[in-house]
Structure 1
């Protein structure tokens, strides 16, 4: 008797969950979900979109001619795909441009130095900057350096990012990129250099956003390829004084203007409530922005289209391709300001901005009363080998940070395998060949299932 009751416990525990899911979705709705999932897995649409964007437009640094072409491309694609509403919303950002970058180790022997200017960096003099470097293993070590100790020198932070499926090494590493130049200048340095925020062994430098601080001298700010970082570390370990020459030419062009491009599939009975599918249209200028974030653009656009092609949901699905994410989430910030009085109309928000490897887990950040809907969605993601994380503490992609701060939108994460993502992130190697079509289809199917079910649930998903 005891043996039988133990077997029955899991079924008894599941019964309330299954009952709650049945209250939210009919058998017909679940059949539509399965059809949407299969349709997305069989479709080439997401591949066609990312191929078109990266081939016909290429890199999309905010404010450039290619950025304008990308906006026109996105609007035309939404219209071609038959979205019910397509519109543009202005976004403003600090307009920065890169023109030239080069570098060499000069002593103890002349060697090429593969580097890139970090976003927002000021230029060196026209003939460059030559100075000895002082190595620090972490930003904290640089912060602890005595005031004035780096006068006439280049501060160099050699922090090594760890590799993990969820990219958890990015946060600690990116601190040196964001504020390293400020700390270095406060110590008297005339330039700042860092190991790329990267897990790669290839000789590509990784760019990314950086910032200055009012009242602190603005100094040139670069990242170097990991093999070059290792070379410098070996030379210093030998007791050598390493002197480098760097030459970067950039320009601050003041305030720039671009657009969030928005396409909407309008819900049939509750059109003012909507699922927000996010990605960002801009990219850095070194590669073609395939993984970051051409893939996300393609996934979100195609997912919404697949839903509309099979079954129009009760609520709307709004795809927002944000502008100027790379320079500081500017498009997302402007969207939140423009829609501040209606953010509670968002029933679910998720962003695809982590490459194109498979979605391996699904997580929510919603009010507890909406968890039955979340679990029902998770159940329909299982055929795609997507596991459910029940902690209910999801953090969305970067463009959802302003939404999270507003505390008015239910946030979701469809976690992608990021083991190799930071090998290519923000480099010249971020190109279309890094995307595997079958993995892109799996992503698209996962977003389509999520979007349809969140939009068609009986009850509105509630924010915490």
Structure 2
């Protein structure tokens, strides 16, 4: 293979532009400041796609066009998480993307960091309950990455009725991330902050049983995204 680069001059100009112009950051700033989160299927995403198309055309590219992509999308609605027993307390939460709408009351089972083997060992204890587990990706002595979706899936297989995902980083609030692919998840899933997760663990350790209620009005419907 020849070591000569026939496009060296062009490559040098591109690299030079990257380091000497603010255009890239200017575009990113507009995308973030003007169009918000640009979540799939939203007005902000559509506006961002049109902006990128206009920019590419201004750079001299030809045949620039938008391609609609129909898909089953998800919209986050209001959600609430209440401790029913042994005390009454409302805890801030968010639903995880593709969580189905829910009105669920059940007791908690604490899987802590969510080691894969614990879901099998404690299946009888999990059945019918709401699993509480953290976002730690290397639980216990695990020698591999354990993703949120795996913990969610193992909860379902063990018969859980709900899933609570606790951010393992203090001070950052609830963590987010999808729990499905092309359709609604099988059980409702929410996330709470590290501090609230620790409170729930202490409450369960002190009283032995904690009953909670999860309510949400998320929507799953046909949407359009864009290439």
Match of 2:130 in 1: 154
Deviation at 1:238, TM superposition (A): 3.9
* Structure-2 residue corresponding to 1:172: 145
Unaligned 5+ runs, structure 2:
none
Instruction: Give the distance between the partners of 1:112 and 1:42, measured in 2 at CA.
Output: 51
Q: TM-score normalised to the size of structure 1?
A: 0.42
Structure 1: which 5+ runs fail to align?
A: 1-19, 163-168, 261-464
**Given the alignment of the two structures, is residue 50 of structure 1 paired with residue 18 of structure 2, yes or no?**
no
Listed one character per residue, the Cα deviations across residues 143-189 of structure 1 (whole Å, up to 9, x for unaligned) are: 33335x43442112235246xxxxxx9x8242xx3244443344332
Q: Which of these residues, 194, 209, 212, is aligned with residue 178 of structure 2?
A: 209
Q: 1:107 to 1:250 in 2, by over 3 A?
A: same
Q: Cα 1:70–1:150, aligned 2, differ >3 Å: closer, same or farther? A: same
Q: Is the 8 A contact 2:86 2:207 kept in 1?
A: no
Q: Supply the distance in 2 between the matched residues of 1:80 and 1:64 (Cα, whole angstroms).
A: 25
- Structure 1 residue runs of 4 or more that deviate by more than 6 Å after TM superposition: none
1:45 Cα deviation after fit: 0.8
Q: Which residue of 2 aligns with 1:76?
A: 54
5 Å-filtered alignment, 1:140-289, equals 140=116, 141-147=118-124, 149-161=125-137, 172-174=145-147, 177-196=148-167, 200-211=169-180, 218-238=186-206, 240-254=208-222, 256-260=223-227
| Aligned-residue offset at 1:111 | 4.1
Q: CA deviation at 1:75?
A: 1.4
- Work out which structure has the larger RCO, using CA pairs closer than 8 Å and 6 or more positions apart in sequence: 2
Matched positions, count: 220
What residue in structure 2 maps to residue 25 of structure 1? 5
Output the aligned Cα RMSD. 3.1
Shift of 1:56: 1.5
CA distance in 2, matches of 1:79, 1:212: 33
Specify which structure has the higher proportion of helix.
1
TM-score, length-normalised on structure 2?
A: 0.79
